[in-house]
Amino acid sequence: MFDILDNTKEKKSKFNKAGNNKKVYIETYGCQMNFSDTEIVLSVLSDFGYNESADIEESDVILLNTCSVRDNAEQKIKNRLVHLKHYKKNHPERIIGILGCMAERLRNVLLEEEKVVDLIVGPDEYRKLPFLIENIFETGEKGIAVKLSKVETYDDITPVRKDGVTAFISVMRGCDKFCSFCVVPFTRGRERSRKLSSIIDEAKNLSGTNVKEITLLGQNVNSYRDNGNDFSDLLKSVALAVPDMRIRYVTSHPYDLSDKLLETMAEFSNICKFIHLPVQSGSDRILKLMNREYSVGHYKGIIRKAKAIMPGIGLSTDIIAGFPTETDDDQKMTLDLMEEVQYDGAYMFAYSPRENTKAYKYLDDIPEEIKQKRLEEIIELQRKISYDINEKLVGTEKEILVETISKKSPDFIMGRTDCNKSTIIPKDSHKIGDLVKVKITKANSATLFGEVI
């Protein structure tokens, strides 16, 4: 097996950059971090003459950028690999590689268990991809690189972005929070921040393109630090540097979301009034077992302050149903909190035990059918809350940034409000990238419908 050493300079000269012309097909799973990383991977590979192809049939290299956060995310990849065998049958030289969190978590095991896989590369090793791939083409030896780094931020790499009006900028990598259920600190390694100046440069470069909205990304953006600047300082600097751009961020952890951050959001009109603030549970006892480091009271305090200084702010959350030892009373506390906060939306999951995490040692004692029943209860309540909130917006006026043609009809377009709500309007003469003032005429739990004012 080939584990490349840091001899990249020497190796670089060996490859024919421009003349490579090999085609890479890549599928991305998991969170926005992975989508952002795929853009880094494409940049690294394009420097060595690889071109992205949307057509798997014509590809020389197939890459899956994977997620490990829950067991079903990994099962999806394993099923996909069964399918991918077919693409290797008539093209045995075609390389299949696993990138991302599953590569990092499963390492050699994945290579041994999944015979169709030639290449395993973890999130901090993407600079090595061209060398690993080339080596497989030359020698047929499988390749693996899964070291985590304390410093890698890919700061100098310009992501290859798809055309669109929205863009991600990754501002930090890794996570040191070690929530007891979560695999991310193991798959992504230690927290590290990019330089503020390089983030600002990237934002400014984007403002000369079609991009109209930037989302700053990190597993916990509150941990951002560069030279005495915290995340609020970064957010403010970006807001000032690109005043015509809408700015969003994910994800903020309730433990260390500061008043200063809320005040910065309130101060700048180009920072979207929307916070994704994962709560996970409405029970203090469960939060403690989850190692979330905040209480429900503290969480509600943040929400109160956010609503007070930004009336109409959009809120979303993540919730886990069926964490070990969770009782019906704990579940009730989660439902009560949802009623009280009135989230615009939520990502809701059944607890999935992950090897090596602290919670893996707890007994996974909630039977699957109870987990599912609680999850359904949470989903149903959220659907009702979202519907009630959206229904109240009928008759109001909003500004939307047009992102795409509607999936259902070419005569309609979809844009998002400041609060992140998908809104469908007739296409008329509007273009993707336009900011359009609309009056909301209809709503369901997921979508608003409007007419142009």
Name which position in 152, 293, 318, 391 contacts ligand SAH (CB under 6 A).
Answer: 318
Q: Which stretch binds ligand SAH (CB under 6 A): 137-145, 205-213, 255-263, 346-354?
A: 346-354
Go through the chain and tell me how many residues it has.
Answer: 453
Q: Which stretch binds ligand F3S (CB under 6 A): 14-22, 64-72, 74-82, 324-332?
A: 64-72
For residue 342, give every residue at least 6 positions away whose Cβ sits within 8 Å of its Cβ, in sequence order, or none: 315, 385, 389
Q: Which stretch binds ligand F3S (CB under 6 A): 26-34, 127-135, 222-230, 395-403?
A: 26-34
Least distance from ligand F3S to the Cβ atom of residue 150, Å: 17
Nearest residue to 286 via CA among 324, 257, 339, 237? 324
Query: Per CB under 6 A, which of residues 79..108 are in contact with ligand F3S?
Result: 100-101
For residue 87, give every residue at least 6 positions away whose Cβ sits within 8 Å of its Cβ, in sequence order, or none: 56, 57, 59, 62, 94, 96
For residue 401, give every residue at least 6 positions away whose Cβ sits within 8 Å of its Cβ, in sequence order, or none: 165, 212, 213, 246, 415, 416, 433, 434, 435
Q: What is the rounded CA–CA span in Å between residue 15 and residue 244?
A: 42
Q: Is 67 in the site for ligand F3S (CB under 6 A)?
A: yes
Q: Is 193 in the site for ligand F3S (CB under 6 A)?
A: no
Least distance from ligand SAH to the Cβ atom of residue 184, Å: 6
Least distance from ligand F3S to the Cβ atom of residue 215, Å: 14
Structure-token match 């590290």, residue found: 192
Q: What angle do CA 349, 354, 358 make, to 5 degrees?
A: 110
Name which position in 34, 357, 382, 417 contacts ligand F3S (CB under 6 A).
Answer: 34
Complex with ligand SF4: residue 20 or 65, whichever CB lies closer: 65
Q: Which amino acid is at 419?
A: C
Q: Which stretch binds ligand F3S (CB under 6 A): 29-37, 145-153, 210-218, 438-446?
A: 29-37
Nearest residue to 323 via CA among 371, 378, 380, 372? 371
Q: Is 320 in the site for ligand SAH (CB under 6 A)?
A: yes
For residue 340, give Cα distances in angstroms to 330, 343, 382, 384, 385. 15, 9, 12, 13, 10
Q: How many residues bind ligand F3S (CB under 6 A)?
A: 13
For residue 360, give Cα distances in angstroms to 290, 304, 355. 11, 34, 6
Q: Which stretch binds ligand F3S (CB under 6 A): 2-10, 165-173, 181-189, 393-401?
A: 181-189
Query: Per CB under 6 A, which of residues 240..259 are in contact with ligand SAH?
Result: 251, 253
DSSP 8-state class, residue 293: -
Q: Is 146 in the site for ligand F3S (CB under 6 A)?
A: no
Q: Phi and psi for 422 in degrees, rounded to 5?
A: -65, 130
Least distance from ligand SF4 to the Cβ atom of residue 235, Å: 19
Q: Which two tokens stand for residue 269?
A: 């009109």
Least distance from ligand F3S to the Cβ atom of residue 102, Å: 8
Name which position in 48, 60, 66, 70 contacts ligand SAH (CB under 6 A).
Answer: 70
Q: How many residues bind ligand SAH (CB under 6 A)?
A: 17
Name which position in 45, 69, 171, 321 contacts ligand F3S (CB under 6 A).
Answer: 69
Note the residues at the interface with ligand F3S (CB under 6 A).
30-31, 33-34, 67-69, 100-101, 183-184, 187-188
